[in-house]
Amino acid sequence: MLKVNDIDVYYGHIHALKGVSLNVEEGEIVTLIGANGAGKTTLLNTLSGLLRPKNGTIEYMGKSIVGLPAQQIVRDGIIHVPEGRRVFAEMTVEENLLLGAFLRKDSQQVKKDLEKVYEIFPRLEERKKQQSGTLSGGEQQMLAIGRALMSKPKLLLLDEPSMGLAPILVQTIFEIIQEINNDGTTVLLVEQNAHMALSIADRGYVIETGKVVISGTSKELQESELVREAYLGGA
Amino acid sequence: MEWLQQIINGISLGSIYALIALGYTMVYGIIKLINFAHGEVFMIGAFTGFVAIVHFELSFVPALIIAMFTCSVVGVLIERIAYKRLRESTRIAALITAIGMSLFIQYLFIYFRGAEPEAYPQDVLPERTLDIFGVKVSMQALLILFISIVLMILLQFIVQKTKIGRAMRAVSYDKDAARLMGINVDNTISATFAIGSALAGAAGVIFGIYYTKIDPLMGLIPGLKAFVAAVLGGIGIIPGAMVGGFILGIVETLVSAAGFSLFRDAAAFIILILILLFRPAGIFGKNTKEKV
């Protein structure tokens, strides 16, 4: 579904991604783990068209998407839930969700999908008239994911959905990610919480200072010496 | 009852400031730029309305619509030609460009048509005085107020209830997040310039009818005062621009009525200085820290 081949991405003068390759097959959950500053967010920003790679190719469903404007990539079904949720704080919960459906013309279906999002996240329905800046961190993450679902994702890019959340909420969010995947959405999950990420992913990549250092099935990574020491807290 | 009359005059003058201030504040809200060429858009609106009324013998409403449309095109052109490429540069560069754009339009206009003023005909709107419980109110002042309020309600509707309005608010809050929603940021910024400039165009026509005399440099002082109004209300905040405009109009009129008409223009800038000293975020502004 997604083939990233040997891309180089610069952030100003910083060479943020150095020859990164990875692929995601339809229906999978693939995780990208790595420390802060390893280049995970840069990779997602490149996939969603906010950044352009200097070299290398990105193919999505058989077509190159390098250089396409972000709104075209959204239209093609790659939906990015950014790091730090980035909800529109001064707009209501429902307005945020409707922004997720910005490009859609099928208003009947949009209404149904809104109901569906409220079914998945009943909290959001309770607070639909509330300004989203007043929500708790967990609720904002639910809103960010709900907003992405309103865009009808084929490939969902999630950037650190567990960041800053209480463990119990992390559990809930990860269960929901699995549900979304079971409903047929492919997921590329960026995480620092390697333990949680590998527990739901089919495969994973480990990225360090802009390079993929190891990849494999979740099981292989969980057993790998390098991953255990650096990302799973030793032992 | 005379002071009541003056307040009503002040409100009509204020509605002109408010209409111009809305454009300043909308543009600032979305790209954090004080568009100093906005007063020139107002001037172009006044002249377009004049041509429509005098040369094409149109009545008020079609002239207003033509002026608004012309100004929205001009506003979009200004943004695309001068500001778009400066979006990633320092704010001072964009600000200086805006001042340059303002002077450029003024003198381009003078170069092609000369600097002599024109006079709006007196009979565009009915010139009658109504007597409401002893208060003499000019029909023109009321009509101007009415039109301004209709335009402001329309604007609020667009910003709050329509898709493009939602996109404008999203872009003003977080451009990259808006891109991830599939919003075309460039088009949304253009739409903001188009709407803000259309309001300035409307203000131009209304100004022409109210004060009759228009000239190529007429945008300067009302432009600056509308800028003060926008700052007074809280720059970037739409209701703030409306309230700021009305307050400024009333204060100015009362200062003149009290016999200090020479200090009329100074009043606006004294307000600016006071606001910047004591409440720099404006009446409606929250004292938020700069977003990093």
- Which CATH number is A207's domain given? 3.40.50.300
| B166 to A103: CB separation less than 8 angstroms, yes or no | no
pLDDT-derived band of residue B50, with 50, 70 and 90 as boundaries? Answer: very high
The sign of the torsion formed by the CA atoms of B72, B75, B77, B80 equals: negative
The answer to whether residue B284 is domain-embedded is no
Cα separation values, B66 from B21, B49, B219, Å? 20, 7, 19
Say what the pTM is.
Answer: 0.91
Number of domains forming the structure of chain A: 1
Which of A78-87, A156-165, B12-21, B117-126 shows the lowest mean pLDDT across its residues?
B117-126
The answer to whether residue A235 is domain-embedded is no
pLDDT-derived band of residue B289, with 50, 70 and 90 as boundaries? Answer: low
Q: What is the pLDDT of residue B108?
A: 96
Give the whole-angstrom CA distance, residue A62 versus residue A3.
Answer: 9
Number of domains forming the structure of chain B: 1
Per-residue DSSP letter, A106: -
The answer to whether residue B96 is domain-embedded is yes
Q: What is the pLDDT of residue B9?
A: 86
Give the whole-angstrom CA distance, residue A181 versus residue A177.
Answer: 6
Cα separation values, A163 from A124, A125, A135, A207, B18, Å? 19, 23, 15, 18, 44
Domain with B27 in it: what CATH number?
1.10.3470
Closest to A70 (Cβ–Cβ): which among B163, B173, B179? B179
The answer to whether residue B288 is domain-embedded is no
What's the domain range around A113? 2-230
Give the whole-angstrom CA distance, residue A29 versus residue A191.
Answer: 12
Give the whole-angstrom CA distance, residue A76 versus residue A57.
Answer: 17
Contacts (Cβ under 8 Å, ≥6 apart) of A83: A41, A159, A160, A163, A190
Residues 135-164 of A with CB under 8 A from B: 147, 151
Q: Which two tokens stand for residue B150?
A: 């209709």
- Tell me whether A70 touches chain B (CB under 8 Å): yes
Report yes or no: B125 and B118 within 8 Å, Cβ to Cβ.
no
The residue behind tokens 């919960």 is: A93
Q: What is the pLDDT of residue B291?
A: 44
Give the whole-angstrom CA distance, residue A43 versus residue A23.
Answer: 12
Average pLDDT for B39-51 = 97
The answer to whether residue B248 is domain-embedded is yes
Chain A nearest CA to B173, separation (Å)? 7
> Which chain B residues touch A147 with a CB distance below 8 Å?
181
- Tell me whether B87 touches chain A (CB under 8 Å): no
- pLDDT one-digit tens code per residue, A63-103: 999 999 999 999 999 999 999 999 999 999 999 999 999 99
The answer to whether residue B66 is domain-embedded is yes
Q: Is the pLDDT of residue B63 over 60?
A: yes
Which of A57-66, A101-110, B63-72, B131-140 shows the lowest mean pLDDT across its residues?
B131-140
Return the beta strands (E) in chain B as ranges: 118-119, 129-132, 135-138, 213-214
Contacts (Cβ under 8 Å, ≥6 apart) of B156: B238
Chain B nearest CA to A97, separation (Å)? 10
Q: Is the pLDDT of residue B73 over 80?
A: yes
Cα angle for residues B84, B192, B159 (degrees, 5° grid): 150
Q: What is the pLDDT of residue B1?
A: 65
The answer to whether residue A119 is domain-embedded is yes
Which of B30, B160, B181, B284 to mutate: most A Cβ within 10 Å? B181
Per-residue DSSP letter, A1: -
Average pLDDT for B46-74 = 97
Q: What is the CA radius of gyration of chain A?
A: 17
The answer to whether residue B285 is domain-embedded is no
**Residues of chain A whose pLDDT is less than 50?**
235
Average pLDDT for B235-245 = 93
One-letter amino acid at A205 equals: Y
Q: What is the pLDDT of residue A131?
A: 95
Q: In what order do the strands lie in the sheet with A29-33?
A: A78-81, A155-159, A186-191, A29-33, A203-208, A211-217
Q: Is the pLDDT of residue B292 over 50?
A: no
Cα separation values, B178 from A42, A44, B170, Å? 17, 16, 6
Which of A25-39, A221-235, B115-129, B161-175 shows the lowest mean pLDDT across its residues?
A221-235
What's the domain range around B253? 2-278
Which of B88, B180, B238 to mutate: most A Cβ within 10 Å? B180
